[in-house]
Each structure stands twice: as structure tokens, then as C-alpha cells.
């Protein structure tokens, strides 16, 4: 098993960017399940944000999410005993939930672990629209959106309490950075996301939330 950086982008007071498509896949404790860590604080039971890939027929053992799990299915179909979640699914499994996930045909997900507010107990399963903006989730602690920007559009996403963005499609060019599919950026409160959508536009998964939720 490849070693993990247990303090990856751990300073929440600093901006962080990871180019997900270029990162190596690292083995997990379960055969056929690999991950590309984006943020991590801890060992195998970590507060973490990652891209995770399931090989066809792979399955994770049953486990409990003490501080919650949130994920977007990027490719294929993710499955557990509660249902099947095709690409475009947005799922929140609150603190205390349990499952044994896997994928018959293989899949890739973007997943955030142990980052729920302790008072957040809501189970959510949503299908993201094929195009257009949509509010996927909202409570007193956070908002989660999918945002679409037309080619060449100016992008300004205000950031009062903390911001995380995963590029789903297209490109976003900002001052000193470029986001392409699977790129992830995290900005501390007060640093707005500014840029311009590329020739193919930009489709972004956006979380507006305090960065220390669940800490």
C-alpha cells in the first residue's frame, strides 16, 4: 500500500489547489479501491477529501460514518445496500450512518469524510441537473451548489465563511491558477473565487461552508 500524507493541505487558513487528474492513484486497505487524496488530516480514519476509484467488482467492508460522508458520483455507478447511484448523483450520509459500498462495473467518486456539523443528521440523495445551476443542499451551516458558466463568462463566487470547488467540466482561468476537470480548490473565508470560464464554459461543484465543520 502506498504511504499517505497524513497532513495534506492541513492548514485551513491557507488556500489549496490540487490537480486531481494528474495525481497518482494510491492503494487503499481494500483490493481494487484506490484514492487520490486532496486534503487529509489523519491516517486511515481521517478527516479527508479525495477522489476514489472502485475497480469493477470491488467493495469496501461495512463501516460506520461517525462524522458523516458526502460524495458526488463522477463516473460509473456507485452502490451500497441502500441503492444505486449513477454518475451525477449527490449523496450525504449523516453522522452515524452505515453502509458497505462498492461497484459492480466500476466507478469514481469525489468524497468528503468526517466534515459534517454534529447537528446535521439529514440523509440526502439528489440527481444533479445535466446543465444549469442547482442548489443541492442548504442548512444553517453550509450551501452546496452545482454551477454552470457559459464560455467566456466572468466568474465571481463570494466567500464569507469558506469555499471548496471541484471542477466537473470545462475550464476556469483565474489569477495564477487554472481549473480543469477533477481540479479542486479550497479558499479560506474572505478570499472570493474570481476567474473567467474557458472556451467550453465551466461546470463547478461548489460548497460554501466553514472549513472547520466536523473538526
CA pair distance 62, 78, nearest whole angstrom: 15
What CATH number is attached to the domain comprising 142? 2.60.120.10
- Domain endpoint, select from 82, 107, 126: 126
CA pair distance 161, 186, nearest whole angstrom: 12
- Domain match, 118 and 12 both: yes
For strand 58-59 and strand 102-103, is the pairing parallel, antiparallel, or unpaired? antiparallel
Task: Cell 497518482: give the residue.
Answer: 24
- Domain match, 122 and 134 both: no
- Domain match, 15 and 118 both: yes
- Domain endpoint, select from 75, 97, 126: 126
Q: Are 213 and 116 in contact (CB under 8 A)?
A: yes
Q: State how far Cα 41 lies from the chain centre.
A: 15
- Tens digit of each residue's pLDDT, the chain (215 residues): 457 899 999 999 999 999 999 999 999 988 999 999 999 998 877 899 999 999 999 988 887 888 899 999 999 999 988 899 999 999 999 988 888 899 999 999 999 999 999 889 999 999 999 999 999 999 999 999 999 999 999 999 999 999 999 999 999 999 999 999 999 999 999 999 999 999 999 999 999 999 988 77
- Domain match, 51 and 156 both: no
Could you give the number of structural domains in the chain?
Answer: 2
Q: Are 123 and 97 in contact (CB under 8 A)?
A: yes
What is the per-residue pLDDT for 2?
A: 54
Q: Which domain holds residue 103?
A: 7-126
- Residue 95's closest CA among 72, 125, 115, 75? 115
- Domain match, 107 and 21 both: yes
* CB within 8 Å of 45: residues ≥ 6 apart: none
Stretch (H or E) spanning 51: strand 47-54
Report residue 30 as a C-alpha cell: 481494500
CA pair distance 52, 180, nearest whole angstrom: 18
DSSP one-letter code for 178: E
Is there a domain that residue 215 lies in? no
Amino acid at each position: 500500500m502506498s504511504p499517505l500524507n497524513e497532513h495534506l493541505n492541513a492548514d485551513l487558513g491557507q488556500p489549496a489547489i490540487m490537480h486531481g487528474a494528474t495525481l497518482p492513484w494510491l492503494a487503499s486497505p481494500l483490493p481494487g479501491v484506490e484514492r487520490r487524496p486532496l486534503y487529509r488530516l489523519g491516517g486511515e480514519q481521517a478527516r479527508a477529501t479525495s477522489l476514489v476509484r472502485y475497480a469493477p467488482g470491488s467493495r469496501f467492508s461495512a463501516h460506520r460514518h461517525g462524522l458523516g460522508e458526502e460524495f458526488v458520483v463522477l463516473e460509473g455507478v456507485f452502490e451500497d445496500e441502500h441503492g444505486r447511484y449513477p454518475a451525477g448523483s449527490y449523496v450525504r450520509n449523516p453522522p452515524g450512518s452505515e453502509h458497505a459500498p462498492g461497484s459492480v462495473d466500476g466507478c469514481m467518486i469525489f468524497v468528503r469524510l468526517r466534515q459534517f456539523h454534529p447537528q446535521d443528521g439529514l440523509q440526502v440523495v439528489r440527481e444533479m441537473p445535466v446543465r444549469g445551476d442547482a442548489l443541492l443542499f442548504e442548512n444553517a451551516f453550509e450551501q452546496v451548489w452545482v454551477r454552470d458558466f457559459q464560455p467566456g463568462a466572468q466568474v465571481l463566487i463570494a466567500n464569507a465563511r469558506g469555499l471548496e470547488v471541484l471542477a466537473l467540466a470545462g475550464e476556469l482561468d483565474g489569477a495564477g491558477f487554472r481549473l480543469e476537470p477533477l481540479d479542486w480548490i479550497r479558499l479560506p473565508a474572505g478570499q472570493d473565487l474570481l476567474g473567467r470560464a474557458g472556451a467550453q464554459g465551466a461546470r463547478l461543484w461548489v460548497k460554501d461552508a466553514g472549513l472547520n465543520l466536523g473538526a
